[in-house]
Amino acid sequence: MIRRAMSAFASATIGIVLLTCAPYAVAGSDTQVTGSQVVGREMRSQKFAQNKIGVSPVRNMVVYLPAGYESSDARYPVIYFLPTPFDSYRAPFDKNGAQGLFDRATQAGVIDKFILVCVDMTTPLGSSWYVNSPVTGNWEDFMVRELVPYVDKGFRTLASRDSRGIAGDFMGGYGALRFGMTHPEVFGSVYALHPVGTGSGIFMMYSRPNWETLANAKSLDDLDKEVYSSSKIFTSIFQAHLPNLSKPPLYIDLQAHKEGDKLAIDSAVTARLRDNFFIESLVPKYADNLKSLRALKFDWARSDPNQDHVYANQALTHKLNEFGVPHEAEEYNGVWGTGNWGESGRIFTEVLPFFQRNLIFAARRE
């Protein structure tokens, strides 16, 4: 195991229409016993009106409310959780038993009572990469200008960055790091589970996509159908970080193209991609923001089949140290995708205790 160690958020006018507000119970949960609730909400956002690829303006979410929420007037800290886009935003509750796990964690004193929000942040190709893009919509603005104010208005939250944390898994871990870098006035504590996109890997990025597929695509449907398709994943990266509205149907600049049997790399596009995409590349610009966080931690699995992620996360902790950014970084023995949930999983043993240490809870206020 390896461990290394702005201004107040201004409320914005929210163009949101509440479509559905009825709570529902997750399959297998027992609200009669636990008293906690998992409720569903839908928001109509104004931040995706000009997108080019059919992103729906209606964004769905689930909100975990702790036992006693309905019978008290207490306010609670909020954790925003960004699941991997390979799963549904509901997967923590529908597949991984998050409600019962959170109930047991609060009952056992692992963490005081809290609210948790999971929202759908995906595009038709998968990850939004949590940034503003003329192709996919303004995801950063949606999160900080619409979603957070909406949750603070609609639920009894402690509406302060000191009581607001963000966590994410895999691509969601990338989003947690990115929001912590760019908006420490909104999210005071950040935990990223096995983040990707943190830096260059062992293999170069241009070795991954099918460049002929991207160059010849006539529509989004021409991309590979598999959920783990490199063509889809890298198109989502390029739509977020290399958008070009003059190049339908994918609306992207290509980092490389085939010239006969050889691959030609566009140096200028590659530089733009690295500067805009990699967390490691953004550290110099946002180091002071990161230093202002209450706490920052990320981890990664040593035996990830894609060793690019291991290499990049090791490099990221070195870069953070180079710029004097306090943080915790942990490489653990395991494989990504297993071991996060359950009472022996990292959510219970690492993530929730991290937020217990670093969020301000109502009970701690004078």
Residues 43 and 178 in one domain: yes
Residues 6+ apart with CB under 8 A from 317: 2, 4, 298, 327, 329
Residue 234 structure tokens: 């890298």
- The pair phi, psi for residue 17, each rounded to 5°, is -110, 125
Beta bridge partners of residue 42, listed in sequence order: 20, 60
Question: How many whole angstroms from its chain centre is CA 145?
Answer: 16
Residues 6 or more apart whose CB falls under 8 angstroms from that of 34 comprise: 67, 99, 100, 103
What SS3 state is found at 322?
Answer: helix
Q: Are residues 92 and 112 in the same domain?
A: yes
Q: Which domain holds residue 115?
A: 17-200+278-364
Residue 11 lies in a domain: no
Question: Does one domain contain both 34 and 161?
Answer: yes
Indicate whether 98 and 189 sit together in one domain.
Answer: yes
Instruction: Look at residue 5 and tell me whether its pLDDT is greater than 70.
Output: no
* pLDDT tens figures, 116-137: 999 999 999 999 999 999 999 9
Residue 229 is predicted with a pLDDT of 66
CATH number of the domain encompassing residue 333? 3.40.50.1820
- Structurally, the chain folds into a number of domains equal to 2
Q: Binning pLDDT at 50, 70 and 90, where does residue 14 land?
A: very low
pLDDT for residue 39 is more than 50: yes
- Residues 6 or more apart whose CB falls under 8 angstroms from that of 329 comprise 2, 3, 4, 297, 298, 299, 313, 316, 317, 320
**pLDDT tens digit string along 184-242?**
999 999 999 999 999 988 887 787 788 888 888 898 888 865 455 688 899 999 999 99
Considering the entire predicted model, what is its pTM?
0.88
Q: Per the structure block, which two tokens stand in for 86? A: 């390979």
Q: What percent of the chain has pLDDT over 90?
A: 75
Q: How many residues does the chain have?
A: 366
**Amino acid, res. 101:** L
65 and 104 inside one domain: yes
Asked whether residue 222 falls in the same domain as residue 283, the answer is: no
With respect to residue 9, please indicate whether it lies within any of the assigned structural domains: no
77: in domain: yes
Residues 129 and 37 grouped into a single domain:
yes
The answer to whether residues 87 and 151 belong to one domain is: yes
